[in-house]
Amino acid sequence: MKRQFFIYLLFICLLSYKSNAQQVIIGSLEEDSLRIAQLAGKFSSQLSFSVRPVELHPTKISWRKPVFKILPATVITQFNSAKPFGWNDGAMIAANGLQIMGRTGIYARYGIIEVQLAPEWVYAANKEYENSPEWGSNAGGLYNKIFPGQSSAGIRIGSLSLGISTQNLWWGPGQRSSLLMSNNAPGFLHAYIRSNRPAKTPIGTFEWQLIGARLDSDSSRPYENMHLKLTPVTYPSSWRYQSAFVITYQPKWIPGLFLGMTRTLQRYQKDIGLGGTSFLSRYVPVITKAFLKQNEQNDDAENTDQLASFFFRWLLPKSGWEFYGEWGYNDYNQNVRDYVMDATHSVAYIIGASKLYELRKHQLWVGVESLQQSESASNLLRGAGNWYVHGGDNGYTHWNQIIGAGVGYGANLQSVWAKIINTQTKYSLLCQLNRINRDPNNYGNKWVDYAFSIQPFLQKKQIIVSPAITYIYSRNAFWLIDNVNSNWNLRLHVFYNFTNK
């Protein structure tokens, strides 16, 4: 109880300070507002929203005057009535019953040096729930943990930043899912070098980030990429090293069009040296390794697993439209001919669009997004496995949660939403329908969830309160024929912005 008391006391003490945040934390209630503002032409069209967190630039700072600011305070309370449900919730776990996450912190900058401390506390009752031999596990019991959260320390020189961080990252244009980086898992420790604003060149602007990271696991808890089952771990005492990058390009001649690429490689800590003796081969293999299997025949022996994706986003603020897509590979192909002849081998993709309508006193934002993770028909010729589990015992996870799309291992998602915003009272209402087809490639009985949610947003000065009610109807639950059940997911998101604006 001492930890819980300390967290709440910290929230209360910080309410006396007022300031602006430097970055918009991924998953915060500000993010959708900024994306909508961009569609309305009221926020910078130079930002791709594919290299996040989004940077809000401070005023020019000299060595004479240090800056100290309080980050937004957030408390999220969640309750699942029957079984775990939900994704893109950071350090929160897949659990039944009551769960709470709290976060606040400070930002300090002196000259080119900047530090952000934003720890996160998670408490989950983690109650038992109905499961089956194929899905679910009641291992673990009460969960109570403090994470470094959205913390970082580094230096900023012009448009370049470098340092260390445990912040969540979101790469790619998706709004409900991302193939390689999202806020579905807790933020992981990583060293970074990145652009902190779009870098202008004679041919257009670029955003980019390069990281070297540590990914951890907990063999006592279930894994999301194993349908929430416990699984034996070959190297229980060995963490995994991840090398990854993202880059986006906005051509000078086509305003609003963003093209990008992401790539990540991971291997167990004990295998880092197998890639070569040079610094680049050991710690930045994501740049040095080829994309063709014929040039990387020893990858399996090195226990190296890779993911890569290509994406686009086309922003049309004059009409209020945006279109986007991401196409990812979970494995090497043999050569260029193989990529062309078997283009869907080990593939996942996201495709989506949204539109903003300007009404008399309201804005209406509607969108649709589709995620495909299950193995394609190419498996009839050669198998690749579902997305994220091509190789390695722990898959593409951190603390047993998938780092990318968190809707579930091998699951496909179709999402439709509409949000009505009162521009005078700052009240809004979001309605969303999700259809989740869970791992259809491996089971004959199709387990499909239909989740309908209503989420109002009410802002009063610095405070935003957002309750959400989601009803989930499951058909053929646990892949058992005619097994129908339901679940309620209730959330309350309270956000305090520490600003007068």
Strand partners, 117: 106
Give the Cα separation of 467 and 75 in Å (integer): 12
Q: In the chain, pLDDT over 70 holds for what percent of residues?
A: 83
Q: Residue 7 pLDDT > 50, yes or no?
A: no
pLDDT tens digits for 321-353? 999 999 998 866 554 555 555 556 668 999 999
Q: Which residue has the higher pLDDT, 237 or 123?
A: 123
Environment class of 223 (CB within 10 Å of its CB; exposed 0-12, middle 13-18, buried 19+) = buried
Give the model's pLDDT for residue 384: 61
Cβ-contact 384, 428 below 8 angstroms: no
Please count the residues of the chain. 501
pLDDT at 9: 32
DSSP letter at 30?
H
Alpha-carbon separation of residue 238 from 146, 148, 212, 299 (angstroms) = 22, 21, 16, 19
Q: What is the pLDDT of residue 243?
A: 94
Q: How confident is the model at residue 16 (pLDDT cuts 50, 70, 90)?
A: very low
Cα 327 to Cα 32, 260, 344, distances in angstroms? 23, 11, 10
Which amino acid, one-letter code, is at 452? F
Is the pLDDT confidence value at 406 over 60?
yes
**How far, in Å, CA of 179 to CA of 175, rounded?**
11
**pLDDT of 59 higher than 70:** no
pLDDT at 297 over 80: no
Q: Is the pLDDT of residue 270 over 90?
A: no
Are the C-beta atoms of residues 101 and 120 closer than 8 Å to each other?
A: yes
Question: Which pLDDT tens digit goes with each residue over 121-164?
Answer: 999 999 999 999 999 988 678 999 999 999 999 998 888 999 99
Q: Identify the CA nearest to 216 among candidates 243, 191, 189, 234.
A: 189
* Percentage of the chain modeled with pLDDT above 90: 58
Smallest CA-to-CA distance from 179 within 26, 343, 308, 265 is with: 308
Mean pLDDT on 290-296: 55
Distances (CA, A) of 5 to 2, 11, 121, 151, 407: 5, 10, 11, 21, 33
Collapsing DSSP to helix, strand or coil, 38 comes out as: helix
- pLDDT tens readout for residues 99-131: 999 999 999 999 899 999 999 999 999 999 999
Question: Lowest mean pLDDT: which of 50-59, 87-96, 430-439?
Answer: 50-59
Mean pLDDT value across the chain: 85
Encode 129-162 in three state secondary structure: CCCCCCCCCCCCCCEEEEECECCEEEEEECCEEE
Whether residue 26 has pLDDT greater than 60: yes
Which residue type does 153 have?
A
